[in-house]
Amino acid sequence: MEYQSRFEDWYTYSTVHKPLPDFTCETGLVLFPPELVPGVGHPLVDKLGDHAVHRLMMRKLESYNAFTEKLEYKAVMAASIKIAEDPQAFGLSEQAGREARLIVTDESHHAYVAIELIKRIPGFSELPPLTPSQPPFLRGLEELERGLPTEFADDLLIAFVAISETLITSILRGIPRDPRVVSAVRNTVRDHCIDEARHHSYFVYVVHQHWASSTPDRREILAPLYAKLIRLFLDPDVDLCRAWLLEAGLDPYDAEVVLRDYYSPERLAASIRADSFPTLKLMERVGVLGHPTARRAFVEQKLID
Ligand SMILES: [Fe+2]
Ligand SMILES: [Fe+2]
């Protein structure tokens, strides 16, 4: 696949060159779309009152921004630096390697804005810290790395980031236009989406080239790995959600009931398939799904039938 730069107008359109978004938080609006916050709207949570609902929304926004920061620092920037240093190792053009440096800059800015946003939300400074936990994607990556040949570590990181960068936009798309959500969150996500649209095209190219330039041995490992990486990125952090529900005032039994309802296997499978749809199409276009080891892995991960 030929590289087509999406970064020619980078100095004009990238959000790092713009002022910080307007962080207004209108009273009466919510911090996050309610249906994306586990427990909100559930009768057991409604019974606890508005304070509990607001606390759950704050926790969701907090974790969303903490996740953004970790993903940018630990995964996307790390992978983009590797690409910048040695584009040929992944079958990428010299220009793609040079422009990976612009992605590093974009992502560093996204991490900065994510943390600024949290600081500006009224009430966040009084929020007691929850036990810090590593996001599951980092634990998952470490686990996968232990099961792979050592020379595969860079391929694992590039594959994970390519997956996450092609998935991320579909999840973010709805929030900027959601009139229920405060301007601070809508504006921040909108700015992030503007940059991520460019990154999406870039990483579609990365997936193509990484696969096309791989030896049969590397493809053997890469094909089923993609399925695991999609699940790793999309699987919810149920332990963290449980901690929020307990903090909001549910007892452990009711918290499990709410979690079982929100993350019922059917609902979870449907939402993962919907979110991964563009990436699954990409896997098909690139030829990953045509590989003998891939289809079984994608079925096992419940991404296809
Ligand atoms: Fe980003
Ligand atoms: Fe990105």
Asked whether the beta carbons of 109 and 191 are under 8 A apart, the reply is no
Q: 256-294: buried (b, 16+ CB within 10 Å) or exposed (e) per residue?
A: ebbbeebeeeeebeeebeebbeebbebbeebebbebeeb
Secondary structure of residue 5 in the 3-state scheme: coil
What string of DSSP letters covers 108-138?
Answer: HHHHHHHHHHHHHSTTGGGSPPPPP---HHH
- Per-residue pLDDT tens, the chain, 305 aa: give them: 999 999 999 999 999 999 999 999 999 999 999 999 999 999 999 999 999 999 999 999 999 999 999 999 999 999 999 999 999 999 999 999 999 999 999 999 999 999 999 999 999 888 888 876 788 999 999 999 999 999 999 999 999 999 999 986 556 778 999 999 999 999 999 999 999 999 999 999 999 999 999 999 999 999 999 999 999 999 999 999 999 999 999 999 999 999 999 999 999 999 899 999 999 999 999 999 999 999 999 999 999 98
C-alpha to C-alpha distance for 4 and 115, rounded to whole angstroms? 32
Distance (Å) from CA 68 to ligand 1 centroid: 7
The DSSP code for 265 is: H
What is the whole-number distance in angstroms between the Cα of residue 6 and the centre of ligand 2? 13
Distance CA 255, CA 241 (A): 9
Distance (angstroms) between ligand 1 centre and the Cα of 43 equals 35
Q: How far are the Cα atoms of 211, 219, 229 from residue 74, in angstroms, in the given order?
A: 23, 25, 15
Residue 295 contacts by C-beta under 8 Å, 6 or more apart in sequence? 289, 304
Ligand nearest to the CA of 111: 1
Q: pLDDT per residue over 52-87, tens digit each?
A: 999 999 999 999 999 999 999 999 999 999 999 999
291 CA to centre of ligand 2 in angstroms: 28
Give distance in angstroms: CA of 300 to centre of ligand 2.
28
CB under 5 Å of ion ligand 1: residues:
107, 110
149 vs 16: CA distance, rounded Å: 38
Integer CA distances (angstroms), 216 to 157, 187, 222, 254, 291, in order: 19, 45, 10, 50, 10
Q: How far apart are CA 173 and CA 177, in angstroms?
A: 8
Kindly provide the b/e burial profile for residues 54-80, where b requires at least 16 CB atoms within 10 angstroms of the residue's own CB: ebbbbbbbbbbbbbbbbbbebbbbbbb
DSSP 3-state percent helix, strand, coil across the chain (nearest 5): 75, 0, 25
Query: In this predicted model, what pLDDT tens digit does every residue of 140-190 receive, in sequence order?
Result: 999 999 999 999 999 999 999 999 999 865 567 789 999 999 999 999 999
Compute the distance from residue 135 Cα to the ligand 2 centre, in Å: 18
Distance separating alpha carbons of residues 245 and 259, to the nearest angstrom: 9
Question: Which ligand has the shortest distance to the CA of 198?
Answer: 2
pTM for the model stands at: 0.94
